[in-house]
Structure 1
């Protein structure tokens, strides 16, 4: 054990892929990628679909998804670009963007690749923890499920963060939308006696800004990025707090409603 594992706490929080490794001993890991992967998962599952999260830019994973019968969605900021020559299946309008899935037919099985939420979900599954996908839309439902599943064992919350797009290394860029999503879940988790300082601060931040979450996310770098890319509806959907009671549970590598 090291201090990075927050082993003194029964509710923990850490960012990005390194956070997955640090919190690997938790019984439940909640991946949070508000703009947009976990919001997209919530929308898809709410329509009766399933989602296979794929590591970013992994051609072997893409081929495995097709072999499993999943439809690969288009990637990129606005869901229209191809990623490194991997051509998405020809399905009109189905992309990484949640607004593209609001009329998804029930029973649809999607494979979604993203550098943040999908990649973290795939990594979290390798720890052996129960993996849930949380966002602002389903924060209370996911928090209740996490507490029920974990019992007295620790829960880890994993805000995915974004990427610096204009730098060669594409390093993690913490986003306020993820802080709010993780904080909303941390604030709603019950039965925790000893949250870590990181989890407690996220909860306090969310509670302090709760009435302004929609405004602040829309004005954030991530929110403005989506608006300028022509998908403002994604921001609106992502900030509809507790609009959903869907609990996305990762089982055998696939997110389905619990």
Structure 2
């Protein structure tokens, strides 16, 4: 891939989706995956509770077998929640679940990107609006003077499978980039600075912006406004989920 596409001239890089992760992830010391509605928000809620989370690409019989081998609860689709299967990608169901210790969290976007990056040897963290400042503090403590950081806005999918950039992920990525800048990290690429600028534009009322964007409206219209409300809990979490092996485990970002 052409060097200009990898943003290697900059210490802090940002791009979209799996292909963007493949471009800017290699060579970065830490890669932050951002999928605000709802993978990394769900991940941060689970991390707050000390839950070990296994990201998984598919929600099918393979995921069920994977969960069984790890004695973990498999998150079902939002519409499939029942008394027997109470946990889904919905962060509010994770918050309400009883005696939850291990969770398999399938996601075609955030989860898939995280697994791809980890398999390539990157240190992967989950970042949402809930823990962006904490993640920036944690990242700054880990970095050497020359180490690079890559930020991946996961995005969504159009019906034909192509990437649909999701503005809420741009805001989440920007909140993290802004946090790193506030911590003194320099060398920000124009792409990363654009994300930070987008975040600064909505920072005064993130909740209103989330409720009004396409992803937020989609969830509200489907009856899941609470998930948007949880996603809007700006910097309410000090916990940073870190992908170790095949699972995310919580670390303090104070």
TM-score w.r.t. length of structure 2: 0.91
Could you tell me how far 1:92 is from its partner in structure 2? 3.7
Which runs of 5 or more structure 1 residues have no equivalent in the other structure? 82-87
Once the two structures are superposed, the pairs formed by residues 81-230 of structure 1 within 5 Å of their partners are: 81=80, 91-105=84-98, 108-152=101-145, 153-164=147-158, 167=159, 169-189=160-180, 190-230=183-223
Secondary structure of the residue aligned to 1:95 is coil
> 1:2 deviation in Å?
1.3
Q: Is the 8 A contact 2:38 2:89 kept in 1?
A: yes
**What per-residue deviation string (whole Å, max 9, x for no partner) do you get for residues 9-61 of structure 1?**
11000100001111222110000000000000111111121110001357545
Select the structure that is richer in helix.
2
* 2:243 equivalent to 1:243: no
User: Residues 59 and 76 of structure 2 are in contact (CA less than 8 Å); yes or no, is this contact kept in structure 1?
Assistant: no
Residues 1:249 and 1:89: Cα distance change in structure 2 (over 3 Å): farther
Is contact 1:49-1:105 (8 Å) kept?
A: no
SS in 2 for 1:7: coil
Please, which runs of 5 or more residues in structure 2 have no aligned partner?
none
Deviates more, 1:179-188 or 1:50-59: 50-59
Aligned CA-pair RMSD:
1.8
Most deviating of 137-146 and 53-62: 53-62
Q: Deviations over 1:118-156 (max 9, x none)?
A: 111111111211100000000000111122223230000
Cα distance in 1 between the residues matched to 2:58 and 2:203? 32
Q: Deviations over 1:50-81 (max 9, x none)?
A: 11000135754542332121211102xxx124
Mapped contact 1:36–1:98 kept (Cα < 8 A) = yes
Q: How many residues align?
A: 246
Shift of 1:104: 3.1
